[in-house]
């Protein structure tokens, strides 16, 4: 981790304050405000998909891939209709606005300059079909999205599905949008090859975007230029990649293919930890990531901070790995107790989600990341907060150092 700028007595106070801060979740009214602002702000394809994922994790967890239940999920939603309804509504809104199609026609769920972003809605559409919502042809819509990704979308030279439609570009964002959809489609349709392709796409993206010369941080954008490349280490992009691979990992883990794909799961865990280690190594004593994690002059971004914390809590639950729990705890405490969520429920400060190099004021994805962080934290908390003791060990070390310094100063 980057060296701390504060003196030891101050660091000790920070550690004690964070370790003993109220670690409770947001209140119901605060969570409701965050959700309402997310609904207000979500207008683009990836925002709809990210909102659907956040709502699955928070309100309809039996249908989330992070549930302890095996996949495929239950067909019966009699006891989950209310909680799942917001996700089903997203699927209905998107599919109902599609023009007529021929059976199996390859096309994205929404018209978009991105090949990858519309696929983020795919899990919601698959769930609408799986749970028997019969007002629309959800099966055909999901298959059309799949066929577009596999047969129409441009490919990078190594076979990675392009994030853009006009030319082959790889964006770290796409790991959250495409592979989880491929994996989920594969499990629901008993297609192990498609689940394996989800893993393969994560690997192909990592092969290009990971920078082994800079601590294994992921570059944001590499490829041909229908939009500018961005070789910088965008914090949210690293979070997107880790979170997407976590969803693929959990999908495989709870599927009938977990034994056959055990090596692939081990790889995914290693790659997730690789990103977490690279990111948290750059965290300064604000415990909030900068928009570009390695740039001291970049603005602070609460959005990526919430997403990275969510990945840490999820990895603790999914794989019993608690390596970065103390730092995720500190970041979460700062976000919840440091006035980073205003009275209206907006997370701040955030990157402009439509212009990744610019600070914004409102972010749909940032709102979703708060919900993901809180739902992941709730699962981790209910499991007894494994790994949390490390924070107290560090605080104790700081206490010893502070005591020595205080005594030394008193003797001067």
**Boundaries of domain holding 226:** 43-278
Residues 402 and 12: beta-carbon distance below 8 Å: yes
Give the separation between CA 78 and CA 66, rounded to whole angstroms.
20
The half-sphere exposure of 225 on its side-chain side, counting CA atoms within 13 A, is: 4
My answer on whether 105 and 91 are in the same domain is yes
Give the separation between CA 173 and CA 237, rounded to whole angstroms.
5
CATH at 238: 1.50.10.10
Give the separation between CA 147 and CA 152, rounded to whole angstroms.
7
My answer on whether 197 and 235 are in the same domain is yes
Q: Taking the CB of residue 288, how many other CB atoms lie within 10 A of it?
A: 23
My answer on whether 239 and 98 are in the same domain is yes
My answer on whether 329 and 352 are in the same domain is yes
Residues 137 and 95: beta-carbon distance below 8 Å: yes
| Per-residue confidence (pLDDT) for residue 6, from 0 to 100 | 32
My answer on whether 210 and 191 are in the same domain is yes
Residues 315 and 273: beta-carbon distance below 8 Å: yes
My answer on whether 270 and 404 are in the same domain is no
My answer on whether 112 and 22 are in the same domain is no
Angle at 290 between CA 248 and CA 351, to 5 degrees: 75
My answer on whether 33 and 181 are in the same domain is no
Domain count of the fold of the chain: 2
Structure tokens that stand for 64 in this block: 């989330």
| Per-residue confidence (pLDDT) for residue 395, from 0 to 100 | 41
My answer on whether 232 and 168 are in the same domain is yes
Local confidence pLDDT in tens for the 412 residues of the chain: 443 333 222 332 333 233 333 456 799 999 999 999 999 999 999 999 999 999 999 999 889 999 998 999 888 776 666 789 999 999 999 999 987 767 668 999 999 999 999 999 999 999 999 998 888 999 999 999 999 999 999 999 999 999 999 999 999 999 999 999 999 999 999 999 999 999 999 999 999 999 999 999 999 999 976 556 899 999 999 999 999 999 999 999 999 999 999 999 999 999 999 999 999 999 999 999 999 999 999 999 999 999 999 999 999 999 999 999 999 999 999 999 988 999 999 999 999 999 999 999 999 999 999 999 999 999 999 999 999 974 434 443 443 444 434 444 545 5
My answer on whether 33 and 59 are in the same domain is no
| Per-residue confidence (pLDDT) for residue 169, from 0 to 100 | 95
- Nearest alpha carbon to residue 307 among 282, 281, 286, 280: 280
Give the separation between CA 194 and CA 178, rounded to whole angstroms.
12
My answer on whether 335 and 362 are in the same domain is yes
Structure tokens that stand for 405 in this block: 């310094």
- Nearest alpha carbon to residue 266 among 276, 277, 258, 278: 258
- Nearest alpha carbon to residue 126 among 61, 183, 58, 69: 183
Residues 304 and 291: beta-carbon distance below 8 Å: yes
My answer on whether 102 and 182 are in the same domain is yes
């Amino acid at each position: 981790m980057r060296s701390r700028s504060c003196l030891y007595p101050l660091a000790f106070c920070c550690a004690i304050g964070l370790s003993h801060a109220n670690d409770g979740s947001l209140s119901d009214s605060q969570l409701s405000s965050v959700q309402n602002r997310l609904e207000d702000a979500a207008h683009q394809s990836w925002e709809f998909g990210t909102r659907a994922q956040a709502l699955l994790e928070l309100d309809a967890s039996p249908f989330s891939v992070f549930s302890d239940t095996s996949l495929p999920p239950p067909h019966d939603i009699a006891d989950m209709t209310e909680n799942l309804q917001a996700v089903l509504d997203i699927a209905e809104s998107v599919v109902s606005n599609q023009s007529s199609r021929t059976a199996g026609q390859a096309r994205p769920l929404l018209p978009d300059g991105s090949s990858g972003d519309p696929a983020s809605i795919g899990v919601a559409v698959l769930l609408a079909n799986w749970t028997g919502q019969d007002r629309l042809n959800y099966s055909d819509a999901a298959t059309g999205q799949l066929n577009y990704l596999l047969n129409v979308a441009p490919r990078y030279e190594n076979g990675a599905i392009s994030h853009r439609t006009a030319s082959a570009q790889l964006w770290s964002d796409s790991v959250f949008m495409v592979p989880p959809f491929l994996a989920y489609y594969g499990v629901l349709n008993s297609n192990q090859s498609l689940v394996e392709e989800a893993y393969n796409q994560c690997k192909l993206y990592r092969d290009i975007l990971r920078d082994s010369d800079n601590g294994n941080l992921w570059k944001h954008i590499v490829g041909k230029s229908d939009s500018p490349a961005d070789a910088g280490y965008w914090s949210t992009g690293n979070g997107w990649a880790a979170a997407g691979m976590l969803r693929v990992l959990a999908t495989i883990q709870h599927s009938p293919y977990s034994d056959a794909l055990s090596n692939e799961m081990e790889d995914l865990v290693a790659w997730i930890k690789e990103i977490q280690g690279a990111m948290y190594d750059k965290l300064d004593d604000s415990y909030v990531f900068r928009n570009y994690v390695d740039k001291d002059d970049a603005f602070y971004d609460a959005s990526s901070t919430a997403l990275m914390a969510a990945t840490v809590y999820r990895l603790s639950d999914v794989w019993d790995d608690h390596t970065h729990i103390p730092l995720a705890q500190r970041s979460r405490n700062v976000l919840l107790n440091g006035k980073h969520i205003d009275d209206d429920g907006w997370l701040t400060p955030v990157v402009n989600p439509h212009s990744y190099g610019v600070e914004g004021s409102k972010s749909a994805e940032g709102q979703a990341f708060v919900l993901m962080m809180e739902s992941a934290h709730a699962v981790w908390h209910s499991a007894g907060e494994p790994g949390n003791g490390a924070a107290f060990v560090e605080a104790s070390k700081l206490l010893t150092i502070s005591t020595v310094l205080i005594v030394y100063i008193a003797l001067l």
